[in-house]
Copies of this chain bind each other. A is one copy, B any other.
Amino acid sequence: MGTTAAPNKQAPQKTSAKAATPQPKTARGEATRRAILAAAERVIGEKGYNDASIGHITSEAGVAQGTFYIYFKTKEQVFSELVLEMGRLVRHSISESTATLTDHLDIEKAGLTAFLRFVRAHPNLYKIVQEALFVDPAAYREYYAKFASGYRVGLLAAVKKGQISEGDAETRAWALMGIARALGEQLVVFTTQKNIPELGDSAQELLANGLKP
């Protein structure tokens, strides 16, 4: 949605995340850091933040425990970074699959199905965001605020173009976000066997015409 594709080359990090440990200075360091981050994603995604110990993470990454603290100040920090990265990934995935579309209802449907595909492919990342509400509320809020803002921008533009009716963009944005989230949860938490295109169709139908007979 209206979200700009985030630059991946890590410039001095402008969003949240306190004083970060200095970036690795060699290729080896960068590889190790990435390995730890990837391991953290798997382990935290599976066991949850609290049951995922540094020991678990480092052994999954194939490094010693102390190595962790060369790259991350605390356990919380690696988690926060995970949440930020995941946010970037979903938004990127969505904006990619809507980039060429012009009709807002098509955009909405494509965005939703892209989101659902992403969620099905990364069920652990989905759980991670949920847990951020407790571990790093700021990151959690940032995640959804960015999402909501993307929706709002798209809605306002579509109203201006006459593609959709007028209405409270803020509430609509949150409602749309809520629909996507709930359907995604249906897929990965309730492990429904629903197929994504059909879900997209049903949702678009509801979104376009509402419930009225």
Name A residues whose Cβ lies closer than 8 Å to a Cβ of B.
Answer: 48-50, 104-105, 108, 127, 130-131, 133-134, 137, 140-141, 144-145, 158, 162-165, 167-168, 171-172, 174-175, 177-183, 185-186, 189-190, 194, 198-199, 202-203, 205-213
Contacts and interface: CB of A to CB of B under 8 A. Distances in A.
Contact of A205 (B104, B130, B167): B167
Given A127-B133, A210-B208, A210-B210, A174 B162 contact: no
A158 B180 CA distance: 24
Chain A, interface SS category: helix
Contacts of A206: 167, 171-172, 175, 210
A127 to B, nearest CB: 7
B182 A199 contact: no
- Number of copies of this chain in the oligomer? 2
Contacts of A105: 211-212
Contacts of A48: 134
A177 B184 CA distance: 12
A164 B211 contact: yes
Nearest to A168: B202
A202 B141 contact: no
24 contacts: A48-B134, A49-B134, A50-B50, A130-B130, A133-B189, A140-B189, A141-B189, A141-B190, A163-B213, A164-B213, A168-B205, A171-B183, A171-B194, A171-B206, A172-B211, A174-B186, A175-B183, A175-B203, A178-B178, A178-B179, A178-B181, A206-B210, A207-B210, A209-B210
A179 B180 CA distance: 9
A183 B145 CA distance: 13
B145 A190 contact: yes
A122 to B, nearest CB: 16
A104 B165 CA distance: 23
